[in-house]
Every structure is written in C-alpha cells, then in structure tokens.
Amino acid sequence: MVANSNAVALIGGTGTERATAWTYHSLRWRNYFRSSRSSIFDLIKNAIRVAATDCPELFTLQRDQITEKLFACSSPS
C-alpha cells in the first residue's frame, strides 16, 4: 500500500480499508521508534519542542487535539 492510498483509506473507504491503512501506518511508526537510539518519550518531548519552535501558529492550533490524545490514551490492564 502506498502513502496516498493510506490517506484516502483513512479519510474514507470501508472500515476494513481504514483499519488496514491504520495498521500499516502504525507499524511504520513503531519500526521507526524501535530503531531509534532514543526512548520514545525523548522523541515525543523533542518533537513537541521542534513543532512549537518551527511551526508556532500550527502548533497552537493543534495543541488541544494533542492534549486530548494524551488524556484519551490508556495503558492495557
């Protein structure tokens, strides 16, 4: 699956297409984080710093959505 079809599947398409696109996208990010020499938490902190510095207007617009995602996540029991 290519990046463009991922975007299309995430926006529309059947539930199966959306789930497949998300799984593919999620696996790519998981592989990226696992191959990093930093912890995922260091990556998150630094990504926030870079986003706030390089794109302050967009970061401000996205901040509430980012916060919602942080508080909506729960760890498995």
pLDDT tens digits for 27-52? 888 888 889 888 989 999 999 999 99
67-to-4, 11, 36, 48, 76 alpha-carbon distances in Å = 27, 22, 24, 11, 20
pLDDT, one tens digit per residue, over 14-26 is 666 666 777 888 8
Both 42 and 30 in one domain: the answer is no
Both 51 and 75 in one domain: the answer is yes
Both 42 and 68 in one domain: the answer is yes
Interhelix angle 56-72/40-54, rounded to 10 degrees, is 150
- Evaluate if pTM is beyond 0.85: no
- Reading the block at residue 26, the tokens are 């999620």
Give the C-alpha separation, 23 to 26, whole Å.
Answer: 5
Domain count, the chain: 2
